[in-house]
A = this chain, B = another copy of it.
Amino acid sequence: MDTTHETRPKGVVIMKNGNTALPLPACFSLKSTLCFNLSPSASEELAQIARIRNFRAGETVHAEAEEVGFIGNVLSGVLRMQKTLHDGRQQIVGLLMPGFSFGRVFSHTSHLDIESATDVALCCYRRQSFEALFTRFPEIEHRMLESMTQEIDAAHDWMLMLATHTVTERMANFFLDLRRKGVGADSAQSERSLIDVPICRKDFAAYLGTTVESISRSIQHMSRRRLILILDSRHFELIDIDGLEHLSNGGDNYLEGRSGTGISRHARS
């Protein structure tokens, strides 16, 4: 595990605990599931063991089958969780946006790679130190449970997309996801529905479970249908949110109305 720039977090948020002010790392102000809005005492203890770690794009944050050494929160940038097949193919099983956390507790070796898709800043806790807080601060363990619950739900949702939707439909869903929780979603971008795909075409394809060629074609298709506007290869404007929503939900065939000619995969009355 490479230690690229491990630093004590500089206090960003000042929180009143009785009459003492204690500095908290920036992740405590994100609506992260792990450390947002914990009790003052728990926040303080967590801040004690927090370390900021920076990675450049393309680095390995955690290798497959390696013992998980720490819990991490994404402060900025995007991580990709991926699995690699014997023949070298890679599948991305999840993207970690700012505010999301990763890592396993109780010495479980995870079977997935975590790599930085962009330059990334993380707020990390060593696993043992983190677990040690569970007994005194059950709320932290509860947060962990909630975080994992979210991860399970997200996995199930994406599983559904992979199994029942076409590439274009999955892409529509992904774009809408990016609009909601993507990098810079809380900036002025979201007003005009400008999205910034934080990954290259290869990763894009690995996430959607398809190929770069199909990605290209789907983008062109959505552009021709006036659903999106192509700014450049990584930036788009969503100009028909309803249409995209509709597309991501079930394709072209509604339950009632708008007799589309498109087909959705293995529909059966």
Contact = CB atoms under 8 A, between A and B. Distances in A.
Interface stretch (A14-22, A46-54, A138-146): A138-146
12 contacts: A91-B159, A91-B164, A93-B156, A105-B145, A106-B142, A106-B145, A106-B146, A110-B153, A111-B157, A135-B138, A159-B159, A164-B209
A135 B268 CA distance: 48
A249 B160 CA distance: 22
Contacts of A142: 106
A134 B138 contact: yes
A106 B33 CA distance: 13
Contacts of A86: 249-250, 255
Interface in A78-124: 81, 83, 85-89, 91, 93-94, 104-106, 108, 110-112
B149 A149 contact: no
Interface residues of A, number: 52
B158 A269 contact: no
A156 B83 contact: yes
A250 B152 CA distance: 25
A178 interface: no
Nearest to A92: B163
A190 interface: no
A246 to B, nearest CB: 10
Contact of A146 (B108, B162, B264): B108
Given A85-B164, A91-B160, 16 more contacts: A83-B156, A83-B160, A87-B250, A87-B253, A87-B267, A89-B164, A106-B142, A106-B145, A111-B156, A111-B157, A145-B148, A148-B149, A148-B152, A151-B152, A158-B159, A159-B159
Interface string A162-192: 1110000000000000000000000000000
Nearest to A154: B155
A94 B158 CA distance: 13
Contacts of A85: 160, 164, 249-250
A219 interface: no
